Chain A
Amino acid sequence: MAINSKKLDEILDLYPSKVKRNRKNHIVVRDTTTVQEIEANTRTVPGIITNRGCAFAGCKGVVLGPLKDMIHIVHGPIGCGYYAWATRRNKAQSDDPKNNYISYCFSTDMQESDIVFGGEKKLAKVIDEVVEIFHPKAITISATCPVGLIGDDLNAVAKAAEAKHLIKILSFNCEGYKGVSQSAGHHIANNGLVEHVIGSGDMEEASGKYPINLLGEYNIGGDGWEIARVLKDIGYDIISVMTGDGSYEELKNAHVSDLNLVQCHRSINYIAEMLETKYGTPWLKVNFIGVQSTIESLRNMALYFGDQDLINKTEEVIAREIAVVESVIDQYRMICQGKTAFCFVGGSRGHHYQGLFAELGIETILAGYEFAHRDDYEGRDVLPHIKTDADSKNIPDLKVTQDEQRFRLKLSPERAEELKEKIPLSQYKGLIQDMKDGTIMVDDLNHFETEEFIKILKPDIFASGVKDKYVIQKMGIPSKQLHSYDYSGPYAGFRGAMKFAEDVANSFISPTWNFITPPWKNEPLLEGKIEEGK
């Protein structure tokens, strides 16, 4: 049932020749004996039925939206704001619920006249109203497709409004057509937060021990809270989370931490790098999905700080959690053992969940991302070899320099080198390293390929998103949404692993799958006996 290059060619031959040439570079059958490259972060083939979204979704929907104490105004016609309203499950709670805008949707609702005469004045008025009604501490403005075309100057509007209202107002030129996917939006959001928010707070030193930031964690279904529960038990001082349940107030002081943890490399690595340059804060790639990955991440963190008390406390908490988790996972593994999975998610989970699947005895036989770059597939070592193509060259690269007052070397160069031997400090090895021979890596998987690969490889479960879910289920195959977690969660951390195991096992043993074929399809219409000899 494996796919070799001949079989792959047969599938690709069904494409028009131009599409075939394009797509074959985005599909790799894993061969661990050679160094393999994949093409990624290039334009989507028109009409191919991609799963991708746009830069606006990456900026407002993913990175900015979860910041609960900022009002996020979408400058555009109503759709963009509407669809990004409460559809990603980035949970948030506040001591002051009046200052938590997570259930709101703010839009300038551009009309034809705004397209013709420009929407700057309307945007300024909307800001005035929102300030008068809600008194927020900070506002973001996100651009949508037509805004760039008609030439509205968001930055100028933001500056004027900031001077008028004396609160922080940030603008983001994340028009949907920028770049080739959500990824461009991540980059645009990262630039804005580093330039205007992080480091604008007054704190010079963290008050607690082991101050850290958690980057690229959006608290889907409470993931961030489960991770924080364990980190706080160990004794870490979490300065900020970017950006799940995150806040403008916390983010301002993110510069005081001694270490940045990076969960989703794709969406936040820009900030991680810039904070290292600007404040000297190293970053560590972590993965809190799966029991073993969580343990490894906690141990790597302890090793980074190198404090024996911290190392001891880390082991104590791990032992405490394992005592609860192991028997639960064992029980579900009996149901899942020996099954196979496809894992195709945005820009990070396509990799992160493979370990958790493996802990349940499920092998991932196809994996990929909608919009990751080559470094997420092949590891950061390929970064110098990645060429920015014409479609992405207009995404600004923010250059930061050492902050003269606040830069501190958190590690000596010698110690850093020593640690890099042991832990992924400023490093991400990429998805491909964890994939076995014969498995398949697909970038920007589309509907056609989804159907073809399912027909050949017959996975027992397909982890993907809501657009795919019912397509896959119609084929009689369980589909697990790994964006929304099918409205369950958390899936991160120790308790998350248990919840995930339960949900996945239940999807296999649900009685409903037994009813797909009606009984009359398996039985002859007439019953009777054939008498021998007649």
Chain B
Amino acid sequence: MLDGTPKKIIERHSGGVINPAKTCQPIGAMYAALGLHGCLPHSHGSQGCCSYHRMHLTRHFRDPIMASSSSFTEGASVFGGGANLKTSIKNVFTIYNPDIMAVHTTCLSETIGDDLNSIVQSAEIPEGKIVLYANTPSYVGSHITGFSNMTKGIINQLAESTLEEPKEQVTILPGFVNPGDMREIKRIVKKMDIDYVMLPDTSGVVDSPMTGEFVMYPKGGTTVEEIKDSGNSQITLALGSFASADPANALDKKCGVPAKVLHTPIGIKATDSLLMALSKSFVREIPYDLEEERGQLVDIMTDTHFHFHGKKVAIFGDPDIVISLTEFVLSLGMKPVHVLTGTPGKSFENEINKMLTEAGIEGNVKAAGDLFTLHQWIKNLPVDLLIGNTYGKYIARAEDIPFVRIGFPILDRSVHSYLPVVGYKGAIRIIEMISNALLDRADRDAKDEDFELVM
């Protein structure tokens, strides 16, 4: 497995990538648009992108992922895709009748410079229907950037500040996380007895139930009314700076809703911060239920710490998730010695390095890195555990490392998108995943005489 990857590290300066730890913007925009109720995402480019993005999301969620495409031909690529988009808008509303079409772009329409705003302005849009748009050039950032750009686009085009005084309500931008995570965040906010708007919200869309009927626009998704109302909130909590800070700032700029940027609430510290922020902003006591969950988590952490303590970990994936995961494994007494994201951004390296320095750990940290680099690091400094998305399985196999799947995409296991990794509940689940991986390995490797009943 991956036999061509040498241990000896040759510095690469070309900017090329071998085995990426990111993908391109539009898939993030498509995912964000699926988090709107009654919305059909639309890819303004040649149709290959749209098919690839639908396929990839489908494989991660094992649920229908609907989206349309402008289906550029060579002619449109040279002379502009305005006609393709206008035709698409007409066809989509006539044939598929969504409430909203959310258009994103690809490297093709961005390179030729199609002006979405003017195309949409001059398109025939049926009464009461909405066409949103966001520019998502694939040659900038990553899928996380695309998620952020679409969320920002939604806010810029729909959010309104209509009240003199803000409502006692929080706008939550959950970031690029699973519907199971969005459900858990909503549960926590409800437990705090605080009104909220979550944007986007893919729960009930990409984890829809089997009923014997295909519903093109499932029950879930943030409604237009809710999005508009997000401008009336007292505060925005942006969970994960890479995915959510820009849209939160856009909401501040447009509607004057102050933004607070927090870590994605993975692990105990980040979840504590979320609860503290909610509690402080709305002067609410944290209910016993949540305190009990936290206590259970700490109980489990204490009960199991000897399984983890001092174990070396490599973590890769999307920056917001990886930052929080790194913080959490440090809380467990583990040593994150290789931490990498494919998404560019110095702040990732700064944040991780700060955490490692505080913990007295020397490690390799890289933004805009790739899995070839991660693999070489591991060859030079082996680890006891690898945490990341499905693509990590090749490294885990090549180096025989216990492997925990967290992040996007997970294409080779099911159920993951239904269950949270956020909140205290999610942290408990992560501990179970980590300890199962480590203890399964201990069992596998134990001699007969060392094989334990109780561990």
Question: Interface-forming stretch among A42-50, A284-292, A300-308?
Answer: A42-50
Chain A residues with Cβ below 8 Å from B95 are 14-16, 19, 47-48, 448
Whether B17 lies near A470 (C-beta < 8 A) is: no
* A44-B47, A47-B88, A50-B47 given; A110·B139 CB < 8 A: yes
* A52-B51, A79-B138, A103-B2 given; A109·B69 CB < 8 A: no
Chain A residues with Cβ below 8 Å from B405 are none
CA of A297 to CA of B88, assembled, Å? 45
Whether A111 lies near B20 (C-beta < 8 A) is: no
CA of A134 to CA of B19, assembled, Å? 14
Whether A53 lies near B107 (C-beta < 8 A) is: no
CA of A56 to CA of B85, assembled, Å? 22
Whether A16 lies near B1 (C-beta < 8 A) is: no
Chain A residues with Cβ below 8 Å from B1 are 97, 103
Whether B47 lies near A54 (C-beta < 8 A) is: yes
* Cβ < 8 Å to B, chain A residues 29-49: 43-49
B167 at the interface (CB under 8 A from A): no
The residue from B48, B56, B74 contacting A57, defined by CB atoms under 8 A apart: B48
Whether A82 lies near B69 (C-beta < 8 A) is: no
* Cβ < 8 Å to B, chain A residues 46-88: 46-57, 73, 76-85, 87
The residue from B16, B22, B51, B372 contacting A108, defined by CB atoms under 8 A apart: B16
A132 at the interface (CB under 8 A from B): yes
A155 at the interface (CB under 8 A from B): no
Interface size range of chain A in the complex: 35 or more
Chain B residues with Cβ below 8 Å from A73 are 16
Whether A144 lies near B107 (C-beta < 8 A) is: yes
CB distance from B67 to the nearest CB of A (A): 8
B59 at the interface (CB under 8 A from A): yes
* A115-B139, A466-B58, A474-B64 given; A177·B76 CB < 8 A: yes
B84 at the interface (CB under 8 A from A): yes
B96 at the interface (CB under 8 A from A): yes
* A78-B20, A145-B77 given; A51·B51 CB < 8 A: yes
Question: Interface-forming stretch among A120-128, A407-415, A526-534?
Answer: A120-128
B128 at the interface (CB under 8 A from A): no
CB distance from B21 to the nearest CB of A (A): 10
Q: List 30 A-B contacts (CB under 8 A).
A: A16-B91, A19-B91, A19-B95, A47-B42, A47-B88, A47-B90, A48-B71, A53-B51, A54-B51, A77-B137, A78-B23, A78-B24, A79-B52, A100-B3, A108-B14, A108-B17, A111-B15, A111-B139, A114-B139, A134-B4, A146-B110, A175-B77, A176-B108, A177-B72, A177-B77, A179-B74, A448-B96, A467-B51, A474-B208, A474-B214
Residues of B within 8 A of A (CB): 1-4, 6, 10, 12-20, 22-24, 26-27, 42, 45-49, 51-56, 58-59, 62-78, 84-85, 87-92, 94-96, 106-108, 110-112, 137-140, 142, 208, 210-215, 342, 372, 394
- Other A-B contacts than A48-B95, A56-B48, 13 sampled, CB-CB below 8 A, are A46-B84, A47-B87, A47-B89, A50-B71, A79-B24, A79-B53, A103-B1, A114-B139, A145-B45, A145-B106, A177-B74, A447-B66, A470-B64
Residues of A within 8 A of B (CB): 14-16, 19, 43-57, 73, 76-85, 87, 97-101, 103-112, 114-115, 122, 125-126, 128-130, 132-134, 144-146, 148-150, 175-180, 390-391, 394, 447-448, 451, 465-467, 469-476, 516-517
